[in-house]
Copies of this chain bind each other. A is one copy, B any other.
């Protein structure tokens, strides 16, 4: 009898074949989204106090439901320990733990630990299957990606050192050390170009021009790698 209930709960919690299982899945997903929206909204300054307390009540409700869900998953798992130390098991735990931890300590610390609630989002990945195709494409170009990453860091480093020699003296605020220059290098090579730091000397501008023409590979190489891997994968 107890085993029959456990079997029913297991079917609802772990699979989404039945009507109940599907409803449970969709309910949890919607609750994750609502919980994330709650999380974002509470960072708004000048929030109405009554709305703020409403959102706090909602958080308690949401965490309670996530705790029940976690307990059920542990209870119905064939090997509870295996689930608890699996990728999703740890995420399920990390998503609820900060709430309980924060009850014991002072309120300012709340802010930092609540960051982990975001891991709830990963739960949604459980419901997606197409992720695997991306993973396979990524695995195919693993070695090339590592070499590209190394090359990217080398270009970043050379760009930082070069601009330091050209701009270091004329703009000590923005290009005062190689570490300062790295901020410029990353913003420039990814073509974001905020405009908070940019070269002003002739030498610095010439150097930037050369680096930018070489740095087109920053976007071209990973894109080409990905296109190639996906073409191979799908054919």
Contact = CB atoms under 8 A, between A and B. Distances in A.
Interface of A: 36, 39-40, 43-45, 111-112, 115, 118, 121, 124, 128, 130-131, 133-134, 140, 143-144, 146-147, 150, 152, 154, 157-158, 160-161, 164-165, 168, 172, 176-179, 182-183, 186-188, 190-196, 198, 205, 208-209, 212-213, 215-235
Nearest to A187: B193
A165 B232 contact: no
Contacts of A134: 144, 147
Interface SS of chain A? helix
A224 B230 contact: yes
7 contacts: A121-B157, A190-B213, A191-B191, A194-B198, A217-B226, A224-B224, A227-B230
Contact of A152 (B112, B179, B213): B213
Given A152-B213, A226-B224, A232-B231, A147 B128 contact: yes
A150 B212 CA distance: 16
A150 B223 CA distance: 19
Given A134-B144, A195-B195, A228-B231, A45 B222 contact: no
B222 A216 contact: yes
A234 to B, nearest CB: 6
Contacts of A193: 187, 191-195
Given A216-B222, A217-B222, A220-B223, A43 B209 contact: no
Pick the 5 closest A-B CB pairs, nearest first. Answer: A224-B226, A195-B195, A192-B193, A224-B227, A228-B230
Contacts of A133: 143-144
Contacts of A194: 193-195, 198
Nearest to A175: B43
Contacts of A229: 224, 234
Contacts of A111: 165
Task: Tell which of A196, A205, A208, A221 has the most Cβ of chain B within 10 Å.
Answer: A221
A181 B196 CA distance: 18
Given A43-B178, A152-B213, A216-B190, A161 B130 contact: no
